[in-house]
Amino acid sequence: MDAPRKHQVSLRGASAKEITRDDLLQKVSRERELRNYAKRAAAAALFIQRVWRRFKVMKMVSLQLQQEWETMVNNYSGVKTAVWISDNLLRPFLFFMISSSTKHQKIHRKKIDSVKICFTILLESLKSSDSKQNYCFLAIGTTEERRIWSYQVQQLTSLGFLILSEFSECNSGAEDITIVTSLAMRVLVMLTDLKGWKGITDDNRLDADLAVKDLIQFLGSSKSGSYVSIARYISALDNYSSKSRIITQADENFFITTSAITLAVRPFHLTNFNVEGPGMLDVNHAVKQYIVYLLTIPWLVQHLPPVLLPALKHKSILFPCFQNLLILKENVLMEMSELDKSENVVSFKAIPPVGWALANIICLSRGNENDSIDSGSFNQGLNYALYVHVVIILAESLLACLDNIGWVRKRKALQTDVESSRQPVDLVRHEGEATNESLIMSFMDQFRPVCQQWHLTNLLASINRDASNKAETLLSNSVESLGKLDLCDIALFYSNLIRIFSVLSPIRGSLPVLNMLSFTPGFLVKLWGVLEVSFISGDKHISDNHKSGNVKQKALEKMQKQVSKDGTNKWVSVLHKFTGKSQTATGDTDPTGNHSEPSRVNEDSSDIWDVEPMRHGPQGIPKDMFSLLHLFCATYSHLLLVLDDIEFYEKQVPFKLEQQRRIASMLNTLVYNGLSHVSSHHNGFLMDCAVRCLHLMYERDCRHPFCPPDLWLSPARKSRPPIAVAARTHEILSANLRFDDSSASLSVGSVITMTPHVFPFEERVEMFREFIKMDKASRKMAGEISEPGSRAVEIVVRRGHIVEDGFRQLNSLGPRLKSSIHVSFVSESGLLEAGLDYGGLSKEFLTDISKAAFSPEYGLFTQTSTSDRLLIPTASARYLDNGFQMIEFLGRVVGKALYEGILLDYSFSHVFVEKLLGRYSFLDELSTLDPELYRNLMYVKNYDGDVKDLCLDFTVTEESFGKRHVVELKSGGKDISVTNENKMQYIHAMADYKLNQQILPFSNAFYRGLTDLVSPSWLKLFNANEFNQLLSGGNYDIDVDDLKNNTRYTGGYNEGSRTIKIFWEVLLPHVIKGFEPEERCMLLKFVTSCSRAPLLGFKYLQPPFTIHKVACDVPLWATIGGQDVERLPSASTCYNTLKLPTYKRSGTLRTKLLYAISSNAGFELS
């Protein structure tokens, strides 16, 4: 084929490149569009010119007409009849006013005088009794006169509200606009009130009534702009609550306000809203506008004079509003949201309009404003059921709005910052937060009625009223349920309000409403009664749990060692998901490594505390019970903070101990399963309250048990993950959460962090050791640990100055203290002791430094006045040189001991440990710190007489180094006497000072040192008692068989040696002359410097328990004669070694051993 030619010859005979068909069509199309665009542009230009010419002509004609109108009115001297007013006064007036003002929503100042003249003449006409002069009589005249009258009064109505809107934007003191607005309001009030029409007879009353209703119907429509103008006007008013002046009838502003409110409620009476008649569902557009524009005005009640509030509170106004909101809620809420976007009417001050509607309805539903706060009441005739349902709808909508704009997350972050920060609250607020804080507090003040007890008691009383209530019988089938009220409705009402309080005011929180709910007699019992019937009564195991006490006690002793295959694989797959490993790659290897598999509580025992309806977490809770459960958890957790042990255990209020166990089991099952399953963020508020309530009950049980141990273990009996999997998953999830705040990744980590008690204590100790093992592995990968001893810390310590030397050389290391410590001791004579440190000397160093520093004689710690004599920082330590630094250093010493698994024979006060675990202490915990002070405070609390007789004030006196210091519990406390009214404040202030304020600086210092070596999340696996066990070991006895199986023999001893056999016989408890438990503990302390065994058994004692042979040559004749070895046993505590001579008789060994362990000496006996 021939190659194509580069050039083609066109039909025109010229050589050119031809255009394709498609390009030609596109070119023609573009040209056609350009021509069409040119035509449209030309047409638009002509239209703009016509509009502009029309505007110029209209403006010129209106100005000319206004001049002629003013000349005519000023020069007219005849009788001003109704026809003259309609034809000669209003017709031209409305033309030049509407043409220049209404179109631009603005009244020119030049026309103020014209408006004033027109409305003055019109007002005089309306006051006339002559039918020929009264303008209103045109409404009952001929058909043409009625049509013209109807049109003119509608235009006058729109103009009047335009003037009202203009008045709201003017500066105060503008006399002309004030007079004009007053005249316009007078005219509109008279036109819309048939009673104000002069000369109306019975013959024409019906026609006049129809005319007025037509006008009021227009007044309630959106065309009139009435509610928009009234909303602008009211929102611009000053706060009447801040005024001290007396309002008189001559006050023009007061009259304008009264007229505006009168006109606002006129449409309600037009629609014949008879609360006691069948027209209940006859809703109209005016009511919806009233709700959308007036009820959303910020601080509506405060803007209005108190004398006008009864008009807005009347049942004939509130009832249609409630009705409209319930039936047309989607439509009404949508208009409110659109109002928030525009803000053309009023400024909502950062609170959504639905929030102001909620606050205003609550304020308007309250009775007389003059009532005291405690003796308040609802409005007479208020329908409680409709009120509750309306508040629920608005509250849920407000919460949705706040969630959409991110307010919930922002305020929750602020709350977290405040709780974790040591700085004052104002310093941690986000930028702009302080500006809105006063606004939010002012908004929250509108909710004061719901925080009063009368509010709740009235709602509860309405539940028990006769079901044949008149208001209920009037409801149609579609909304019949909304006319009824039950406990679930009230629970949803207060549940939503608590959430609003918590979101808008995270620092103050929902304390006002929770205080009221907690101390309303019988309310918590009512809530629990419904919950118990719904969740507990149907559970046969829980209902019959009191019959199986012995079975439960035995259940804890029977532990299963096998992990179910399904449970293990579930958690292994979770670990693989986060580590990136596939299950196929792991094969059938043991996921727990060398650790023993977790023990399982006997299923029959634990089943009785596993509440079946809660096994699916919040998702399994019925909708009607959801809010009731949330309200119960929030209220009861608040009450538990102030409930003392006498009330809880002895008086057993508000619940019996058996009920407390049921509550604990329900919450335990709910929280565990809620954290185990991926939960929607909409359930977060329930989980937060449930977790808080569960923690308070668990901590009280730890201090003074009221629940069987298997109750806390019950939910996780089947699905608990293996130890290594749980520990590694927790660490991986914690790391991920630092970069991704995803609720979906919380499951396993949250269970371990939030509910560690579902794991048996032994498993949590293994988990703690696994955390340390993982930390050491990560340090090794980071190069912090290379070869044994290569990065060890070398220190030289004088025996007589062990605390000072240790502080000087180790305190500055911080986290580097995790490395090995090689200690060289200097004897009392100043000579360096011989020997190398292979771990024993460092253990001896930690043991000796803790023994010296924790001694009360050293001045840093003292012992509590309780029988167990636990350690707590002494208040006078703040006055010592380097007092806080020394306590911080001791925190590092304890952290080092925990990190290395070295036991210290010391236990700290429950209150002090609570601070280390990040928990706040309350009144009921004071008994563990100072029983005498607790008894005295309970005496004051239950004192029947006048507390003033005790001569107490809000101060506490401290004594240190012979000097007394007076500390005020509150500002000006020395001048405030304790009375019957404020004694509860005094009791809790005193408890707060002793439990929190006084000890906090010391606990913070100790915490800083402790967490240099041990992560805070690891510590939170334990409660206060378990922390002490972790530090100092198990029970006050030892398992001889376990010790025997994990003992090492050196120097020539073995298990078959005669002395060794005698030794174990002496230690056994069942032997007649065997050691008592106390003596066995003394032996353990003699050898290891700690009287208690390791928590997981002697397998974990480092270095291992060792018995070393001490050969003693005894003459043969002495042995035959009955003489045995005279040498005493000795010990090397740094190596956990007992140096035992070769005794031949059990009696000699027992006597010598008891003497040695009772002499408080060890190595010195060698």
Residues assigned a catalytic role: 1134
CA 310 to chain centre: 37
Phi, psi of 569 (to 5 degrees): -60, -35
Helices 329-342 and 384-404 cross at an angle (nearest 10°) of: 40
Q: Cα(129)–Cα(198) distance, rounded to whole angstroms?
A: 5
CA distances from 50 to 47, 55, 56, 58 (A): 5, 8, 10, 12
Q: Cα(529)–Cα(364) distance, rounded to whole angstroms?
A: 33
Q: Is the peptide bond before 613 cis (omega within 30 degrees of 0)?
A: no
* Cross-strand bridge partners of residue 823: 795
CA dihedral 1107, 1111, 1116, 1118 (to 10 degrees): -70
Structure tokens that stand for 190 in this block: 């008279």
* Cross-strand bridge partners of residue 1139: 1108, 1130
The DSSP code for 372 is: -
Contact 666, 535 (CB under 8 A): yes
Contact 918, 839 (CB under 8 A): no
Indicate the SS3 state at residue 369: coil
* Cross-strand bridge partners of residue 964: 959
Contact 176, 226 (CB under 8 A): no
Question: Judging by DSSP bridges, how do beta strands 600-601 and 8-9 pair with one another?
Answer: unpaired
CA distances from 867 to 48, 864, 871, 909, 930 (A): 97, 8, 12, 12, 11
Structure tokens that stand for 74 in this block: 């000023």
Contact 645, 533 (CB under 8 A): no
Phi, psi of 256 (to 5 degrees): -60, -45
CA distances from 142 to 138, 149, 154, 217, 863 (A): 8, 10, 18, 22, 103
Contact 940, 986 (CB under 8 A): yes
Helices 353-364 and 315-327 cross at an angle (nearest 10°) of: 140
DSSP 375-418: T--BPTT--HHHHHHHHHHHHHHHHHHHHHTTHHHHHHHHHHHH
**HSE-CB of 65 using CA atoms within 13 angstroms:** 19
R_g over Cα of the chain = 43
Identity at 300, one-letter amino acid code: L
What is the length of the chain?
A: 1166
Phi, psi of 267 (to 5 degrees): -60, -25
CA dihedral 457, 463, 469, 475 (to 10 degrees): 110
DSSP 428-467: HSPTTHHHHHHHHHHHHHTTGGGGSHHHHHHHHHHHTS-T
Closest CA to 282 of 266, 271, 291, 290: 271
